[in-house]
Amino acid sequence: MNTSMVKSKFLSNPEDIGVVAVGFSGGQGKSGVDAAPSALIESGLLAQLQNELNYKLHGDDKVNAYNDLVPKQDPPYRNMKNPGTVSAVTQRLSEQVYAHAKEGRMVLTLGGDHSIAIGTVAGTAKAIRERLGREIAVIWVDAHSDINTPETSDSGNIHGMPVAFITGLAKEEKPEYFGWLKPEHLLNVSKLVYIGLRDVDAAEKKILRENGIKAFSMFDIDRYGSLPPWPSFPFLVVYGIGRVVEMALAHIGNDTPIHLSFDVDAIDPMWAPSTGTPVRGGLTLREGDFICESVHLTGNLVAVDLVEVNPSLAADREAEANETIRAGCSIVRCALGESLL
């Protein structure tokens, strides 16, 4: 870890990162998102964390495929597609994340589709409760709110539901269908904050409203421009992302361990086109990086997920996939402090 970087005060080993590579696509219908971890690693992400940012990496750099966990038959249950597979994989992943977080290290999870956040958040929440007696907060950076319950979802894709499961808004008793989620795995809805939303289903809007969940949409990022502090440039409007991040962090409180779950589709398709559900009008690459840099600066970060990079979804495959992978690498490096001089 370089000297200028901020050591997270909630980690007993802030120089250490537990890496979990999750080659999993079962939370949605498009193949290719399972190839993201190896693409990110091959492009040099882990080597940079090790050699340039000077972190010590733990965990196997081989990608987990979890093939042993896939049930022979996995019919829909409560409208969910691949429910048994996603449940089993996220349960195993929660144990992997927990094991790293219990050691007091930062956990970096490379997905995979966003259903895997059921496992990562569950693992972090449980470890931080046990280690520090504290609740985590989650900053969910995404074009989507991923808070459908099985009943409200139109698609049946579990990558549109992880937030409902980790907050306990979606409940299920059967252990093979997420019933393994216990109170110690769950996130308090008051500790959840979204940034970047722009494609939220009507039923999801209702859930957000009814539960008073803090969310900053793209509209909020545009509208919260602040007045310039420099009298000589009275025409200049300071861009809204700074205020939005400030408000998001204020909502969480500055003494709370943070899990950052970053869906690459939060970034505008101009910079991150290779993803399963792209939505135009998104964050610039700099805004995405800025969110991560700001979270790093808090010194409260305990876990980062990067999800939904799908190298095989690109019109001009080589070029667009490479752009998206570059964007993803940049996001992770910013969260881990590379921007500080």
Ligand X SMILES: NC(=[NH2+])NCCC[C@H](N)C(=O)O
Residues taking part in catalysis: 114, 142, 144, 146, 159, 263, 265, 308
Q: Which region, judged by CB under 5 A, interacts with Mn ion, from 24-32, 51-59, 139-147, 324-332?
A: 139-147
Single out the segment in contact with Mn ion by CB under 5 A; choices: 41-49, 65-73, 106-114, 322-330: 106-114
CA 274, CA 77: separation in Å to the nearest integer? 30
Q: Residue 286 belongs to what H/E stretch?
A: helix 285-298
| One of 8, 94, 96, 277 touching ligand X (CB under 6 A) | 277
Residue 153, helix vs strand vs coil: coil
Q: Which of ligand X, Mn ion, none interacts with 157 (beta carbon under 5 to 8 A by kind)? A: ligand X
C-alpha to C-alpha distance for 158 and 126, rounded to whole angstroms: 22
Q: Which is nearer to ligand X, 25 or 124 (CB)?
A: 25
**Total residues binding ligand X (CB under 6 A):** 15
Residue 144 in contact with Mn ion, rule: CB under 5 A:
yes
Taking CA atoms, 34 is separated from 106, 184, 217, 326, 327, in Å, by 23, 28, 28, 17, 17
**94 in contact with ligand X (CB under 6 A):** no
Evaluate whether 307 touches 158 at the Cβ level (below 8 Å). Answer: no
Q: Which of 142, 172, 293, 323 binds Mn ion (CB under 5 A)?
A: 142
Considering only 168-176, 228-236, 245-253, 255-263, which stretch makes contact with Mn ion by CB under 5 A? 255-263
85 vs 277, which CB is nearer to Mn ion?
277
User: For residue 329, what are the CA distances in angstroms to 15, 279, 283, 298, 326?
Assistant: 19, 20, 16, 20, 5
- Report the partner that residue 155 touches, choosing among ligand X, Mn ion, none (CB closer than 5 to 8 A by kind): ligand X
Q: How far is the CB of 51 from Mn ion (least distance, A)?
A: 30
Is residue 113 a contact point for Mn ion (CB under 5 A)?
A: no
Q: Please identify which residue in 172, 220, 263, 289 interacts with ligand X, judged by CB under 6 A.
A: 263
Q: Where in 261-290 is the site for Mn ion (CB under 5 A)?
A: 263, 265
Among positions 133-192, residues that touch ligand X (CB under 6 A) are 144, 146, 148, 153, 155, 157, 159-160
Structure token pair of residue 233 = 């440039």
Nearer to Mn ion, 11 or 22 (CB): 22
Distance CA(82)–CA(156), nearest Å, equals 9
Interface with ligand X, residue 308, by CB under 6 A: yes
Which residue of this chain has its Cβ atom nearest to ligand X in the complex?
160
In the sheet that holds 16-21, the strands lie side by side as 56-58, 16-21, 106-110, 301-307, 258-263, 137-141, 192-197, 214-217
For 219, the 3-state DSSP assignment is helix
- Token digits of residue 87: 């449940």
- Say whether 213 sits in a helix, a strand or coil: coil
Which spans of this chain sit near Mn ion (rule: CB under 5 A)? 114, 142-144, 146, 263, 265
